[in-house]
Amino acid sequence: MKLQTLVAASLAGVATAVVPRDYKGQIIFGPHNLQANHAPHAVDMAAIMDMKLRQHATDMKDGMFGYNKYKKQPPTACVRGRAGEYACDRVDMKGFLRHQDMHSRTRTGNDIWGWTSPDGREFGLVGQSDGTAFVEVLKDGNLQYIGRLDTQTGTSLWRDVKVIGHHAYIGSEAEDHGMQVFDLTKLLKVDPKHPETFDKALDLAAHFDKFGSSHNIVANEETETIFAVGTSRWLPCRGGLWMIDVSNPRRPQDNGCVYQDGYVHDAQCVIYKGPDRRFRGHEICFNYNENALTIVDITVRAIPKQISRTTYNGAAYTHQGWLATEDHRYLLLDDELDEVVGSEPAEDGKTTTYIVDVTDLTYPVFRGIYKSPIISIDHNQYVIDGISYQSNYGSGLRIVNVTSIAEDDTGAGFEEIGSFDVYPEDDEVGSREFHGSWSVYPFFKSGHLLLNSIERGVYSLKLKN
């Protein structure tokens, strides 16, 4: 069943905003027509989870997660737009491991993160519905399976992991899962010839059980704080930021809640160094709250203060975003359902990224958009030195140069400089479905990028010089 069909009923009778066009008939999106006071297309997390669970059930029935469904592939250079079965542009495949090669019984992937040891070894933390797999990224970019940590309770399509120091913090939508705390230095002692399945009773540094399920894990290394988001709306934090002090990883401490704007899907929390002098040096969280960008000051944990709440034309499910400039003046925001719903400016189904000016934290302004050349749903992105690394479901990894944002915040100067598509099945026409890549980890000094695919496995990729 097409996702557009699943959301059609909830959108019946909703009018699309009228927006101006230039003399060629092309729509121009800027503050004049991105500004909005409400989000008539928006749905909540329960609705989007239902869509994904239905699609996954259909995919399971169709054999998409079967044993040996996908072939192994050795490292492959991108030549004339192809790397084996994969469409690509200036991005080589340095390594690939299927989910079954990492001993996943469900063979279903989700989040990805990374860790660099003190001696420079690079490791990937590969989220799967039944646990977390650990792989080493070798010097040439190839991947070596090291071991895994099984889920704390049951399986779930959603698992999220972040790292502070040498500890991983792992949450899941699995019932009663809580947060696993795992000491990553254990990986340094593993003989790759004998991968290890770590014992969740004996090998965890700690287990935080104040909540059961969570949707995402957010980390601020500067303050040694983990934020669990998307916990139960019936618990004290009501699905908002659940702040956890991990200055002692073996004894994580409950540090309070931010629940003024309800459910938080994802967030980025930083020590603010931007142009708004009122908040410099404060710990500021940019929250992606289903139908709005919400900015909060959590410097004093006991009395968090909501600074602003801003929705936008086209909001369907405000999913994730990342600060786009070192001076904290701009951020890029992705909406997970605007392409599915067909709400402007994503009515053509091409991946749409929103450009937000947060110069004044009390009054963010949506300045423009960037549209990918491909029809696909966006999911996660991270920005490093003016380059946005986007994981866009069916169209895979898209690498976009956004350095022009300081001079032109309309998005007109954004340029895609590389791509690697891990879902060949929709190459001809693209798709607005939840297949393909879930997330990307672009922070290794080596330049190797890890991309986790829902169906196939984990990829080590590298942009050509």
The answer to whether residue 4 scores a pLDDT higher than 90 is no
Query: What tokens were used for 11?
Result: 């959108």
Over pLDDT 70: what percentage of the chain? 94
What is d(CA 333, CA 335) in angstroms, rounded to the nearest whole number? 7
Of 21-30, 105-114, 123-132, 253-262, the range with the lowest mean pLDDT is 21-30
What DSSP assignment string belongs to 171-231? EESSTT--EEEEEGGGGGG--TTS-EEE-TTTSEEEEE-S-S--SEEEEEGGGTEEEEES-
Query: What tokens were used for 155?
Result: 């399986």
Residue 130: C-alpha distances to residues 105, 259, 389 (Å):
7, 30, 26
Q: How many residues does the chain have?
A: 465
Residue 220: C-alpha distances to residues 69, 169, 228, 286, 382 (Å):
39, 12, 12, 12, 15
The answer to whether residue 96 scores a pLDDT higher than 70 is yes
What is d(CA 61, CA 57) in angstroms, rounded to the nearest whole number? 6
Query: What tokens were used for 53?
Result: 């669970």
Confidence of residue 428 (pLDDT cuts 50, 70, 90): confident
What is d(CA 189, CA 191) in angstroms, rounded to the nearest whole number? 7
Per the omega criterion (within 30 degrees of 0), is the bond before 442 cis? no
Give the homologous superfamily in CATH for domain 31-463.
YVTN repeat-like/Quinoprotein amine dehydrogenase (2.130.10.10)
Query: Do residues 356 and 369 touch, judged by C-beta distance below 8 A?
Result: no
The answer to whether residue 8 scores a pLDDT higher than 80 is no
The answer to whether residue 388 scores a pLDDT higher than 60 is yes
Amino acid at 463: L
Q: What is the mean pLDDT of residues 262-275?
A: 98
Provide the pLDDT for residue 385. 98
Confidence of residue 340 (pLDDT cuts 50, 70, 90): very high
Provide the pLDDT for residue 28. 82
Provide the pLDDT for residue 170. 99
Provide the pLDDT for residue 370. 98
Provide the pLDDT for residue 1. 46
The answer to whether residue 335 scores a pLDDT higher than 50 is yes
What DSSP assignment string belongs to 52-65? HHHHHHHHHHTTTT
pLDDT digits (tens, 9 = 90+) for 19-72: 444 433 457 899 999 999 999 999 999 999 999 999 999 999 999 999 999 999
Over pLDDT 90: what percentage of the chain? 93
DSSP structural state of residue 235: S
The answer to whether residue 15 scores a pLDDT higher than 60 is no
pLDDT digits (tens, 9 = 90+) for 126-170: 999 999 999 999 999 999 999 999 999 999 999 999 999 999 999
The average confidence (pLDDT) of the chain is 95
